[in-house]
Amino acid sequence: GQNIDQPTEMTATEGAIVQINCTYQTSGFNGLFWYQQHAGEAPTFLSYNVLDGLEEKGRFSSFLSRSKGYSYLLLKELQMKDSASYLCASREAGTALIFGKGTTLSVSS
Amino acid sequence: EPEVTQTPSHQVTQMGQEVILRCVPISNHLYFYWYRQILGQKVEFLVSFYNNEISEKSEIFDDQFSVERPDGSNFTLKIRSTKLEDSAMYFCASRDMETGINEKLFFGSGTQLSVL
């Protein structure tokens, strides 16, 4: 089975940088995903890591350390519209994506 | 951009009734999924479907649940006898056959099921 942990809530101000951490335990790791979910809406894909290191994509970056079972999502130049839940998800080979409980990020002005 | 569509957006039903939630996945996708999210809780995996059969299911997906791909476009989730605890947002998702980053899921906007 898989176990995914991430903080429940975080707050930050516009223009700041925030890092959302995720730890996972899985017996056959096959990729780590981050999704964004605005309240009442569907999750949308943000990033994917399968090898160690940093993947950068505009204001969002994601990092993975497979040996530590650790990932983080880095959001730069925060905007009010970034207020949402950020879902860490992992999968084992041949299995479905399993989500963590999500981190609710509140961005204030 | 192609998208996953779900109908209805809201469904209200009485406990014990059967409901069918409908989804039209993205046309060239081959893997289909149902997830649910109880209010304030995490997105939970229910079932995956590939090549006209269930490829994986969770403990939640018991005998009350079934899935079907009745034609080339629709993918349905049936709950045979709804319980109060089935009240949740149900998300359909699909993906294509590619591996790695292209294994990302595309989600529909969900059906909010309320069991009274």
3-class SS shares of chain A: helix, strand, coil, % to 5 = 5, 60, 40
Q: Are A100 and A88 in contact (CB under 8 A)?
A: yes
B110 CB neighbours in chain A (<8 A) are 41-42
pLDDT, residue B1, reads 78
Q: What is the pLDDT of residue B99?
A: 65
Q: Give the CA distances from residue B71 to residues A105, B49, B54, B56, in Å, rounded to whole numbers and listed in that order.
A: 41, 14, 16, 21
Is the sign of the CA dihedral A81, A85, A91, A97 positive or negative? Answer: negative
User: What average pLDDT does the segment A54-79 reach?
Assistant: 96
Q: pLDDT value at position A81?
A: 97
Low-confidence residues of chain B: pLDDT under 70: 98-102
* The pLDDT value given to residue B103: 76
pLDDT band at residue A93 under the 50/70/90 scheme: confident
Supply the pLDDT for residue B100: 62
Q: Which residues of B touch A96 (CB under 8 A)?
A: 33, 45, 48, 56
Nearest CA to CA, how far is B116 from chain A (Å)? 20
- Say yes or no for a CB contact (<8 Å) between B41 and A101: yes
Average pLDDT of the residues in A44-70: 94
Per-residue pLDDT band at A30 (split at 50, 70, 90): confident
Q: What pLDDT score does A1 carry?
A: 63
Q: Give the pair of three-digit tokens for residue A65.
A: 């350390």
**Looking at the complex, does the CB of residue A90 fall below 8 Å from at least one CB of chain B?**
no
Q: In this predicted structure, what is the pLDDT of residue B66?
A: 97
pLDDT of residue B101: 60
- The confidence score (pLDDT) of residue A29 equals 79
- B104 interfacial to chain A (CB closer than 8 Å): yes
Q: How far is C-alpha B111 from the chain's CA centre? A: 9
Chain B stretch 1-60, residues whose beta carbon is closer than 8 A to a beta carbon of chain A? 33, 35, 41-45, 48, 56
CA distance A94 to B39: 29
Which residue of B26, B39, B42 to mutate against A (max A Cβ within 10 Å)? Answer: B42
Distance CA B4, CA B111 (A): 12
- How is residue A107 written in tokens? 């961005």
B61 touching chain A per CB within 8 A: no
Task: Locate B44 and state its tokens.
Answer: 């939970």
